[in-house]
Structure 1
């Protein structure tokens, strides 16, 4: 679907996008630095400032909220050489071992985790960033190799040849959020000072060649590296657990971001492409598009479609928020949608307006149909592998 908003055009692969998502997309179209057109992926739904499942390019501008608060959130997948259907008791053992080895939710390691990325970041600082509080790096060091909460997960899956795969979804934890919120406040103050009129103050930006713009880009890359290492460490743990349990080894691995900005060439110009809940799909590039719990996931290959800025969806996309899902979804229907899949159940919510109700915020019914999403982006990616879930560990 193409439409002309006020400003640059809007190109959408999303069927029936929500009104708020369209309002946010049209704000992007009117942004003073927006380039060529705005693209909405088929999993698009409202975000903060910019729709999740949105792709936008900007000239000499970087927008913290167009990257998002979980900088570097992304996917990992690994294919094993084990074929066959593990027994249910084996899958239960695997999920229990994963849960005992990888902290999830608000939990983190009790000791600092060593990583050279911390040292190199600190060594290259010319001055202490304002977001770097007394406990920030201590929390980050203890959070490295942890799953987090929300829609983050670890799944055991099988492909059409009954080969076992591992897939996980996680990001930069509190580190990315701290960096994003700090820089958004600075960008907003700077834009107000300069008298820049924005379609939404949520889309405050820096010039990429300014001191503050370069500081954000530096900090964003630190969070991206942290997120990639976070996924790598968890994947190593899960691969060892499966190796010990199933006697398997692993043949290939993918580790990608879907919340980031990168300088790229598009339509003859060098621009900063922001992918917020969207995955790079350059021609021949491998990617991961997960479904919801209980639904298939896909390993894909990009087709390099220029109209999407060589991008595709990052997942199925929500049809309702977490609180709405907890109010509306029926326990029996949720259980039926997870039939045959080993999972840890749905915990009781402990805060918010839904105290005492079951947490169905990540149930399959809260998400779009993944196969409909895949069909909508047949011109963006080619499906390589379809994966069915066997067991899931939720954050």
Structure 2
């Protein structure tokens, strides 16, 4: 930890030297919210979000905040180590082509509904019909499970420091998570207005009591979306593995590592069971294996958590943006970004100005981000990108 801000109702603990004014204001709003437990933790990849900073961790007593989870509920990473130690450039291109045949990218969905077996089960004691937004979106979800989505989502083929080839996917809960998030944020906003503006609306942090019918439903639907995001990644990984098997000699695969970085969960911290909200943050319990990806064309890390209570056993979820998407498209030099990737011999996804939103120049330096959280995690494996498919 680098700094603690003590000017608000609750302390704000920072794992970076400073915050830009907008992100700092969001952190202060969160620290002044009723129900915040102990303090607010801000990870080294933090930047401005909607309501709560991305890269923020907040524990609450008795309330849940939809905007402190975000619109891509359950968004996260998965990674698998293969037995391969060598893949030439032509084979990499063939693998990418095979992946594109099986996994729709961006706004595209499957043309046929996927088997219900790929859809998650509702929380214990509930049916899909008990979940109003999920039940409405369930059939659409069957066309979306196993699809990448857009923005900063990606599929990457990597190589570790021992030569092993790895497969990594970053994706979320697609439209079903978006609909659940928006619905319950509106429910929370309406409740805030009805009760006389418990918090300023411009904070965008309206909350629901955990023991209220609305709060209980949000938590159940949120958990379904977390499970859907995992099912989405697992199905894509199965198809990436299939693509590798089509293009390579016999190959074996390790167990899939999976981490989510947008969710809320009950955990015990500082003497109490509380609702820990992680928005662009990953759980890093003691000896827990996690994933911290770099930006396109930079190193990613498999890490082991240290269970540091000061961060509510959390760490960063990536490198973190320094430029907004439109800002990156305006400011970055397309040819310079392409030259950087091609110098590293990476098969990349930057073709035009629009793709600059996910160029490495739009992100913080991942090595610096890792170095700022040595009290939270220990790097275990370093992964160098070989080829990437961008959502």
Fold equivalence (TM over 0.5): yes
Residue pair 2:10, 2:38 contacting (<8 A) in 1 also? yes
**Does 2:287 match 1:284?**
yes
Q: Which residue of 2 aligns with 1:72?
A: 74
Structure 2 counterpart of 1:369: 365
SS at match of 1:138: helix
> Could you tell me which residue of structure 2 aligns to residue 270 of structure 1?
273
List alignment gaps of at least 5 residues for structure 2: none
Residues 278-333 of structure 1: per-residue CA shift (max 9 Å, x gap): 00000000000000011000000000110000000000000001100000000121
Structure 1: where are the runs of 5+ without partners? 348-356
Equivalent pair of 1:188/1:201 in contact (CA under 8 Å): no
How far apart, in 1, do the equivalents of 2:128 and 2:300 lie? 43
- Given the alignment, which residue of 320, 323, 328 partners 2:326? 323
Report the TM-score when normalising by structure 2: 0.94
Aligned 8 A contact 2:129 2:135 in 1? no
Corresponding residue of 2:348:
343
* Residue aligning to 1:27: 29
Q: Using the alignment, how far apart are the partners of 2:46 and 2:355 within structure 1?
A: 23
Normalising to structure 1: TM-score of the pair?
0.94
Residue by residue over 1:326-372, the C-alpha shift from the partner in whole angstroms, topping out at 9 and shown as x without a partner, is 0000012111221210124335xxxxxxxxx4431000100000000
- In the other structure, the counterpart of 1:393 is 389
Change (3 A) 1:186 1:330: same
Moved over 4 A (4+): 116-120, 125-130
The root-mean-square deviation of aligned C-alpha atoms, in Å, is 1.7
Cα deviation, 1:65-85, whole Å, max 9, x if unaligned, reads 00000000000000011113x
- For 2:152, the equivalent position in structure 1 comes to 151
1:308 match: 311
Cα distance change on mapping 1:297 and 1:275 into 2, 3 Å: same
- For residue 198 of structure 1, give the secondary structure of its aligned residue in structure 2: coil
Identify if the C-alpha distance between structure 1 residues 344 and 196 changes in structure 2 by more than 3 Å, giving closer, same or farther.
Answer: closer
Name which of 244, 250, 257 aligns with 1:254: 257
